A = this chain, B = another copy of it.
């Protein structure tokens, strides 16, 4: 699969709201996920498929998702960029807001080797 093939399939899954399934299908065993700051007070860098799964489960448990917009993918070599706008309510605070972030994925051997997120701190 080319980077474009992987990107197109991932975007289709995300548009369908299947963020857990997309990770199971495409995360490399040693995939790395990099936030600008720790999303839950921990390390901003999560390493390995189990850690990324845990991060996703924490996030899904902490938010109600009302809608997802995905713009892209925009491919360059083994990387691609997607912009996510997610209309969510943070369960603890009850606060509803639109998360607006750019995600950068690096694909190696048809799998996500790295994901990095870019957004304004909240």
In whole angstroms, what is the CA distance A72 to B80 when docked? 18
Knowing that A75-B118, A76-B116, A80-B118 are A-B contacts, what are 18 other residue pairs whose CB atoms are under 8 Å apart, sorted by A's residue number? A36-B74, A36-B75, A36-B77, A72-B118, A74-B101, A74-B102, A74-B118, A74-B119, A74-B120, A77-B116, A79-B104, A79-B118, A81-B102, A81-B104, A81-B118, A83-B102, A102-B102, A104-B104
- For A, the interface residue count at a CB cutoff of 8 angstroms equals 20
The closest CB in chain B to the CB of A117 belongs to B76
25 sampled A-B residue pairs with Cβ under 8 A = A34-B76, A34-B77, A36-B74, A36-B75, A36-B76, A36-B77, A72-B118, A74-B101, A74-B102, A74-B118, A74-B119, A74-B120, A76-B116, A76-B117, A76-B118, A77-B116, A79-B104, A79-B116, A79-B118, A80-B118, A81-B81, A81-B104, A83-B102, A102-B102, A104-B104
